[in-house]
Structure 1
Amino acid sequence: MISTTKLKSVDFYRKIPRDLTEASLSGAGLSIIAALSMMFLFGMELSSYLSVSTSTSVIVDKSSDGEFLRIDFNISFPALSCEFASVDVSDVLGTNRLNITKTVRKFSIDPNLKPTGFEFHAGPLPTVNNHGDEVEEEYSEGSVSLNSGNFDRYSHQHSILVVNFYAPWCPWTNRLKPSWERTSRIMRQRYDPEMDGRILLGKVDCTEEVELCRRHHIQGYPSIRIFRKGSDIKDNHGHHDHESYYGERDSESLVMAMEALVSTLPRESHTLKLEDKSDQTVDAIKRPAPLTSGCRIEGFVRVKRVPGNLIISAHSGAHSFDASLMNVSHFISHFSFGKKLTPHMMSELKRLTPHLGSSYDRLTGQSYITDHGDSNANVTIEHYLQIVKTELVSRKYSQEFKVFEEYEYTAHSSLVQSIDIPIAKFHFEPSPMQVLVTEDPKSFSHFITNVCAIIGGVFTVAGILDSILHNAIRMVKKVELGKQF
């Protein structure tokens, strides 16, 4: 057994009897200052331990998301109709995808960017196989010429008014003209406007009746609209509610379509019996016309990770457009690459790397508006985007864990005069490099060591200062006593 006396001999912290010690005001002051210093330095060390330390490096992109890149967008076009608005993508490898609809949604909006109805389901843009009659022949005018003065009167006189909005310079209009007039004559013979009045075919020259065509949101020629009596104007802020015809344009197909429209009305004794093949009729050849001239386009597309273009423009395989009247002004609510970050992920990104994330959605809230006029006609708006991937990695337990990744980009925009149909073009170019941000957690043992160093260091320094101060006071007292004697 080791005796108590021998055990005490190894005591590093030998005690001085309390009655041999003396308290002083200077020592009390230094003790208070030392305690406050310890608390302050401990708080600083704890804050440093809890804060995130990161290191940034630039490496060759080793993306795990494959060869494709996702683009999310929400863009409003106050002067581009949903009827013809098309989302196209292309890249330097020769890939071309036109009128993407599977992952894209369209909503009609007014000039103030407010929605005016439900989602616009336009379906695929039409590709007309039969356009005009095979044999051209002399024809007489069969359709009624409409203008701002008589349009409303005719639409209220007839149960169905089918109107061809055209432009004389349009080649598609000239190809449609023979079959349209022939169809008009046939329908007049079968349904005399004065005796029957259920259907009438008319036409509007949009180069002469500009305001009338604008009122019905005509942007492509020829546009065939179907107006039904009593439903032209609904109680929806005065917006026109009608339908567009997208079927074939030869006289036989047009007559079948017109007959199908009449068949939905009360039949009279002289109404002709439709052929069986007309039962496929109306829904396949007509769809709701846009309520307004604006469109909000939202959704996403997947593109290859190579330089390419996302293009939004008016597109149709069976219509012509007046480039001087087209306007692709737009407001961007969202435009980002890669997976869409949730608000929680964005806040986490800001916490870990405050200098990142500011370019994740750089175009948000930006508007690119051109006033309609001669000086601003045929204006294409182009955006040049440089994309860099940023990957955040956490290093714990000697292993690396990927927290999340995001794509940041720079954007430069310009307005370009063009003789072609104006477009909104987003040219993107992914960088072959990526930014790697590594989170380096601090060791707990390092934190404890620093805390001990703080306590011991402050205690030692305070003891040295107290000793110096105490000896200085003693010397002063000795000097004063020496002077007295």
Structure 2
Amino acid sequence: MISATKLKSVDFYRKIPRDLTEASLSGAGLSIVAALSMMFLFGMELSNYLTVSTSTSVIVDKSSDHDYLRIDFNISFPALSCEFASVDVSDVLGTNRLNITKTVRKFSIDSNLRPTGAEFHSGAVANAVKHDDEVDGESVEGSFSFTTHNFDKYVHQFPITVVNFYAPWCSWCQRLKPSWEKTAKIMKERYDPEMDGPIILGKVDCTLEGDLCRRNHIQGYPSIRIFRKGSDLRTEHGHHEHESYYGDRDTESLVQFMENLVASLPTASQKPALEDKSNAADDAKRPAPSAGGCRIEGYVRVKKVPGNLIISARSDAHSFDASQMNMSHVINNLSFGKKVTPRAMSDVKLLIPYIGSSHDRLSGRSFSNTRDFGANVTIEHYIQIVKTEVVNRKGYKLIEEYEYTAHSSVAHSVDIPVAKFHIELSPMQVLITENQRSFSHFITNVCAIIGGIFTVAGILDSILHNTIRMMKKVELGKNF
């Protein structure tokens, strides 16, 4: 067996009797400073150990072919009517979706972006509008021509006034004109306006009466509006609300619709009904927008390839005057990807303060035709998107968000002006991973701190002690 004496021979920490040691004030001061330094550095090391750090890397996007990108938007157009506002999506693979309505909502607003009513419903999308196949050779003028001076007078004089707002250059207006005039003549023969007839059909040339058409928020031609005497509904902001006709434009359909309007009038009173109870009429007419602007909000899902989100005026049975279209807009929100809850985002921001700063970069910005481009002005936004994932140390995905950069421009358009968002996704993604130091690394650093400070303090004490002793010898006049 190994004796105690032999075992003591390997002792690294042999003790010196206390009587053989000498204490000094300088040593006491250095000991206090060393102890405080050890506690301070130990606290710093402990805090560093408990703090979760991150590492950032750029890798190829791991999205599969079946993944779609969600685009959330809320955009206000002060000069685009909800009646014709359309949201379209296209991409480089040939996808072309027009007038998306399932996930898009529209609200009428005025020029100051204030809401003027409830949600605007455009109704079912018609396949094709029917017109008269043959036109009589004899020109028939049955409708009354309204101007700015006599419009209000006639609208309030008759229980029902149906007005065709048109432009002579419009091909759809030219196709409507024969059947409209013929219908007006038939209704005049059945219900003579001069004999207190309940209905009158009129027309307004918007190239001559531009102010009158703008007052009624006419943006597409032809627009057939229905005015009821005494029933000009007003919103809290004082805007008029009327009805529009969207049915077939042949003589038979128009006459039937006018008869349904007359039948809706109460027989015992000259005061018109507020609603037409006929199902056929309900299918053909819908509320007209109460103001000339529109706030469009909702979302669309697109493939993760370069593409376009386009908002414009669109109709399969109307024409538009491109020189009068104004696509100025205010972006209230434009973001990509799944919505991240505020709580999840705030938790991640504690770890990564800079994340989310470009998630909704265009929010609150307005874009208008401030430069003197004249007519046919399109506003384009070029958006480049980068995907960012945050993964914890166990491999669980905390959040997935898309940040983007945007550059906007105003340019001339050959066709109808639009608001176009060019979207391009980066093939790379940013991966942020949580990192936490191992306990063994923490212990190693603590030992290095304590041992290092103790050793350095001992060296400094030895130097200081020897220096003081030599100074005392010099004072006593001793040689050394």
User: Normalized against structure 2, the TM-score is what?
Assistant: 0.90
| Corresponding residue for residue 445 of structure 1 | 440
| Corresponding residue for residue 273 of structure 2 | none
| Deviation at residue 431 of structure 1 after TM alignment | 2.3
Could you tell me how far apart the structure 2 residues matched to 1:372 and 1:431 are? 32
| Corresponding residue for residue 327 of structure 1 | 326
| Corresponding residue for residue 338 of structure 1 | 337
Could you tell me how far apart the structure 2 residues matched to 1:223 and 1:105 are? 22
* RMSD of Structure 2 on Structure 1 (CA): 2.8
| Corresponding residue for residue 198 of structure 1 | 198
| Deviation at residue 467 of structure 1 after TM alignment | 2.4
Is the CA contact 1:307–1:430 (under 8 Å) kept in the aligned structure 2?
Answer: yes
Q: Superposed, which structure 2 residues align to 1:266-345 within 5 Å? A: 266-267=266-267, 279-345=278-344
| Deviation at residue 388 of structure 1 after TM alignment | 2.2
| Corresponding residue for residue 436 of structure 1 | 431
Greater Cα shift, 106-115 or 2-11? 2-11
Is the CA contact 2:340–2:399 (under 8 Å) kept in the aligned structure 1?
Answer: no
1:54 matches 2:69: no
| Corresponding residue for residue 273 of structure 1 | none
1:305-350: CA deviation from partner (whole Å, max 9, x where unpaired): 2111111000000000000000111111211221122223333443
Could you tell me how far apart the structure 1 residues matched to 2:235 and 2:299 are? 33
Give the SS at the match of 1:37: helix
| Corresponding residue for residue 129 of structure 2 | 129
| Deviation at residue 205 of structure 1 after TM alignment | 0.7
| Deviation at residue 454 of structure 1 after TM alignment | 1.4
Query: Residues 164 and 101 (structure 1 numbering): CA distance in 2 closer, same or farther, change over 3 Å?
Result: same
Could you tell me how far apart the structure 2 residues matched to 1:41 and 1:136 are? 100
Greater Cα shift, 332-341 or 363-372? 363-372
% identical equivalent positions: 74
Could you tell me how far apart the structure 2 residues matched to 1:212 and 1:305 are? 46
| Corresponding residue for residue 468 of structure 1 | 463
Is the CA contact 2:129–2:247 (under 8 Å) kept in the aligned structure 1?
Answer: no
Query: Residues 194 and 24 (structure 1 numbering): CA distance in 2 closer, same or farther, change over 3 Å?
Result: farther
| Corresponding residue for residue 225 of structure 1 | 225
| Corresponding residue for residue 406 of structure 2 | 411
Greater Cα shift, 330-339 or 193-202? 193-202
Give the SS at the match of 1:117: strand
Query: Residues 41 and 64 (structure 1 numbering): CA distance in 2 closer, same or farther, change over 3 Å?
Result: farther
Q: Which letter maps to 1:239?
A: H
| Corresponding residue for residue 360 of structure 1 | 359
Query: Residues 88 and 54 (structure 1 numbering): CA distance in 2 closer, same or farther, change over 3 Å?
Result: same
Is the CA contact 1:313–1:423 (under 8 Å) kept in the aligned structure 2?
Answer: yes
| Deviation at residue 28 of structure 1 after TM alignment | 3.0
| Deviation at residue 248 of structure 1 after TM alignment | 0.7
Aligned length, in residue pairs: 472
Is the CA contact 1:99–1:124 (under 8 Å) kept in the aligned structure 2?
Answer: no
Q: Superposed, which structure 2 residues align to 1:140-289 within 5 Å? A: 140-267=140-267, 279-289=278-288
| Deviation at residue 426 of structure 1 after TM alignment | 0.9
Unaligned runs of 5+ residues in structure 1 are 270-277
| Deviation at residue 406 of structure 1 after TM alignment | 1.7
Give the SS at the match of 1:290: coil
Give the SS at the match of 1:309: strand
Could you tell me how far apart the structure 1 residues matched to 2:26 and 2:153 are? 106
Query: Residues 156 and 132 (structure 1 numbering): CA distance in 2 closer, same or farther, change over 3 Å?
Result: same
Give the SS at the match of 1:112: coil
Query: Residues 289 and 68 (structure 1 numbering): CA distance in 2 closer, same or farther, change over 3 Å?
Result: same
Give the SS at the match of 1:177: helix
| Deviation at residue 412 of structure 1 after TM alignment | 2.0
Could you tell me how far apart the structure 1 residues matched to 2:383 and 2:329 are? 17
Greater Cα shift, 356-365 or 327-336? 356-365
Give the SS at the match of 1:108: strand
| Corresponding residue for residue 26 of structure 2 | 26
